[in-house]
Homo-oligomer: A and B are copies of this chain.
Amino acid sequence: MLVLGIGGSALGAKMVRDCFSADLTKNLIILDNVDPDTIHEVAKKINPQNTVINVISKSGSTVEPISQFKFFYNLFELELGKEEALKRIVITTDIAKGNLRKLADQLGLLSLEVPENVGGRFSVLTPVGIFPLEYCGIDTKKLLEGALKQKQEGKGLAVTGAVLDYLFYNKGKNIKVLFIYSDRLFRFGEWYLQLFAESLGKRFDKNGKEVNVGATGVLAKGVTDQHSQVQLYREGPDDKFYAFFKVNKKTDVLIPESFGEFEGFSYLNGKRFSQLMDAECEGTMQALENAGRPVVLYEIDKIDLEAMGELIYLFELQTAVCGYLYNINPFDQPGVEEGKIIAKKLLGYY
């Protein structure tokens, strides 16, 4: 399946997909940019004979999925003919409004609905995220069960997290670092970065007062970024707060005894890569704490669909609560329109 979208609609599905081994999800391609280099690479890789296109745009007029759609539909039509090509399209958009809805209705295309009151960055648990994942054989029921569990049991954690976000920001820490000690969980960070930025970065509060609030999220990968960012984190200005993410049960891979007789090699004999990661995570947290930097640790038992559902719900709720504390609306994004309008002008839309 080829998913055409941008922003939250693409990031949500990417986040869940990447929790799995690449083997299991290699048929789910999510294209969320319009760089011609990448369009070209994707076009070489897909085979219209066995691919379905899912076009996602809530408004039905987002320029990136529309232009991607024109391009890939054209490829499909050339290879399969119009009738067959049209059968391979599934549109995900507003139930009644917008250009994509009109097109789907007029051409009789398969379509799914984005709930009216759910923005892109909050949409992974709607048909936006669920359909491509389910199509690829991912049992999204478990994802939803995890979210439900978190809804029932996890409100305290979300509120605590929101209060910390709010307090650290008000104490002058305008940067929130997510330090994620898991390659498979890394895209959760990308998804969260959007949720955090677009929900809480606001010019006006609910009373119309100009406030210009919002911390900036930064993503770091454990252990890799210990070797690139920790120098700044420990010694630079005290303008950050840190959320570490650690996965307790990891794939079990032994470090073998090779070269074990050499200095600097022997102490690793019989250790596991999971131990190494955990020790480095612990070492980095302690080093930051010793430098007086504020650190929060999230321990995730293991990465599975239920855990992902819990994480999604937890941070969606936390972000909404934090918006309440800032007294801003976490569900709008008035600041992204102007750039779009200028771009459309330059393209001759008006």
- Of residues 53 through 87 on chain A, the ones whose CB sits less than 8 Å from some CB of chain B are 60-61, 63-64, 66-67, 69-71, 73-74, 77
A250 to B239, CA, bound (A): 38
Q: Chain A 14-37 against B: per-residue CB contact (8 Å), 1 yes, 0 no?
A: 000000011100000000111111
Assess whether B231 is in contact with A61, with CB atoms less than 8 Å apart: no
Q: Give the docked Cα–Cα distance between A182 and B35 (Å).
A: 6
Cβ < 8 Å to B, chain A residues 301-334? 333-334
A212, A223, A257: which has the most chain B beta carbons within 10 Å? A223
Which residues 160-197 in A have Cβ within 8 Å of B in the complex? Answer: 174-175, 181-184, 193-194, 197
State which residues 260-314 of A face B: CB under 8 Å: 260, 262-265, 267-268, 271-280, 282-284, 286-288, 290-291
Determine if A255 is an interface residue (Cβ-Cβ < 8 Å).
yes
- A88 contacts chain B at the CB level, 8 A cutoff: no
CA A131 to CA B198, docked complex, whole Å: 42
- Does chain B have a CB within 8 A of A141? no
Is B216 touching A232 in the complex (CB atoms < 8 A)? yes
On whether the beta carbons of A339 and B287 are closer than 8 Å, the reply is yes
Q: Are A228 and B264 also in contact (CB < 8 A) when A252-B36, A256-B74, A282-B342 are?
A: no
Q: Verify A267–B335 contact, CB threshold 8 A.
A: no
Which of B183, B214, B290, B348 contacts A338 (CB under 8 A)? Answer: B290
Q: Nearest B residue to A20 by beta-carbon distance?
A: B37
Complex interface: chain B residues within 8 A of A6 (CB): 223-224, 227
Are B265 and A70 in touch, CB under 8 angstroms?
yes
A285 CB to closest chain B CB, in angstroms? 8
Q: Is A11 an interface residue (CB 8 A)?
A: yes
Query: Which B residues lie within 8 Å of A63 (CB)?
Result: 268, 276, 280
Indicate how many identical chains form the complex.
2
A304 to B347, CA, bound (A): 28
CA distance A164 to B342 in the complex (A): 27
- CB pair B253 A335 closer than 8 Å: no
**In the assembled complex, how far is the CB of residue A228 from the closest CB belonging to chain B, in whole angstroms?**
3
Does A132 make an interface contact (CB < 8 A)?
no
The distance from the CB of A323 to the nearest CB of chain B, in whole angstroms, is 13
Residue of B nearest to A229 (CB): B197
Verify if A236 is at the interface (C-beta below 8 Å from B). yes
Bitwise interface map of A from 102 to 146 toward B, beta carbon under 8 Å scored 1, else 0: 110010000000000000110000000000000000000000000
A-B contact pairs, 30 of them (CB 8 A): A7-B224, A21-B41, A33-B221, A39-B273, A40-B253, A63-B268, A70-B255, A70-B258, A70-B265, A71-B256, A98-B264, A99-B263, A99-B264, A100-B264, A121-B228, A174-B174, A174-B237, A198-B229, A200-B236, A202-B235, A212-B237, A214-B237, A216-B239, A230-B335, A267-B349, A283-B340, A283-B346, A284-B339, A287-B342, A288-B339
Instruction: Please provide the 8 A-B residue pairs with the shortest distance between their CB atoms, ordered closest to farther.
Output: A201-B232, A7-B227, A99-B264, A283-B343, A194-B228, A283-B342, A201-B236, A214-B236
